[in-house]
Amino acid sequence: MERVRERWRGVLLCFCIAVPCYFLGKVVPIIGGPVFAILGAMGLGTLLRSRGNRLEREQSGIKFTSKVILQAAVVLLGFGMNLGSVLETGKGSLPIIVSTISISLIVAYVLQKFLKVSPKIATLVGVGSSICGGSAIAATAPVIGADDEEIAQAISVIFLFNVIAALVFPAFGSALGLNDAQFGMFAGTAINDTSSVTAAAAAWDGIHGSNTLDTAAIVKMTRTLAIIPITVVLAFVRAKKEESAESVKLSKVFPMFVLYFVIASVITTVCGLPVWLVGGLKDASKFLIVMAMAAIGVNTDLVKLVTTGGKPIFMGICCWGAITGVSLLGI
């Protein structure tokens, strides 16, 4: 009960920010609820701090939301993954998916050394660009110990290129002479966030009278499975840095919430959960991610985020360009 008394104010604050942002995200999917939440919360947090309110009583609940609720959101995301269906339909895209993820992580690693960007921001930008945007950042951040400002920086970079891709890719694909199947593969492998993949594929279908949305969505879901090995590898790397090889513990190497994500996916795959239940759990996951982004935004210094954003944005451009090029070569 003591913990509940400490946390309820902060959790309620994040919930109140999340509700309008979640529905705004449905109205404007090209931006999405998490981006509305993180930007709105940053503005609110900056305003409150300028008036002397440091949100001290709310901090325990805000931190709980940005950590524990964020991990719970990733677990619920697993219920939307039918492993059999995704792998069966998406296996043809696996070589391109592996290639795009690899090139993005390599580019992020090289540029991190060259630009002297925070290794955690570089990891989040690389993973977010190559796997599934905000969901990948949500899964990776607690594994590498990223703080709120690093998460906000990465989300902002990913958001920028989500919007550009959703607006530009349909015309770009037409100019390249891609057919419907090729564009579905292109959108699914080269655009990072599900909402932007959906927006781009829907725009293509509207222009060409086709049905690429299903292909793009399945390829995108196949990419999402990369969360599992990526987070495990990153957890192991972090454990190796913090301890000697002889003393690495399994609990540090394997983040438990990723194990629960896998279990959730297996339950959906084996048990064949009703569509209404899977849909409800996916919606709950999306809402909890919006709540967590609100918590991260409240504690993020908006001025610092803007003034330090140049290098991460440049890194995002390079990762996105490399992914786009490798995707087109593979197609």
Cα–Cα dist 152/305, whole Å: 8
Please tell me which residue, 159 or 47, carries the higher pLDDT value: 47
Closest CA to 216 of 228, 201, 227, 231: 201
User: How sure is the predictor about 258, in pLDDT bands with cuts at 50, 70 and 90?
Assistant: confident
Please tell me which residue, 307 or 225, carries the higher pLDDT value: 225
Query: pLDDT tens for residues 54-87?
Result: 778 888 888 899 888 888 888 888 887 777 777 7
Domain count, the chain: 1
Query: pLDDT tens for residues 265-321?
Result: 889 888 878 888 888 988 898 899 889 888 888 887 776 676 767 888 899 889 989
Does residue 246 have a pLDDT over 60? no
Cα–Cα dist 315/167, whole Å: 21
Could you list the residue range(s) of the whole structural domain that residue 236 is in?
1-330
User: How sure is the predictor about 255, in pLDDT bands with cuts at 50, 70 and 90?
Assistant: low
End-to-end, the C-alpha distance of the chain in Å comes to 56
User: How sure is the predictor about 237, in pLDDT bands with cuts at 50, 70 and 90?
Assistant: confident
Cα–Cα dist 278/78, whole Å: 10
Query: Where is average pLDDT lowest: 115-129, 141-155, 208-222?
Result: 208-222
Does residue 167 have a pLDDT over 60? yes
Per the CB < 8 A criterion, the answer to whether 132 and 223 are in contact is yes
Please tell me which residue, 272 or 24, carries the higher pLDDT value: 24
Does residue 23 have a pLDDT over 80? yes
The length of the chain in residues reads: 331
Query: Where is average pLDDT lowest: 6-20, 135-149, 200-214, 287-301?
Result: 200-214
Residue type, 8: W
pLDDT in the model for residue 251:
54
Residue type, 215: T
Cα–Cα dist 121/308, whole Å: 11
What is the rounded average pLDDT for all residues in the chain? 83
pLDDT in the model for residue 254:
58
Q: Model-level pTM greater than 0.85?
A: no
Residue type, 107: V
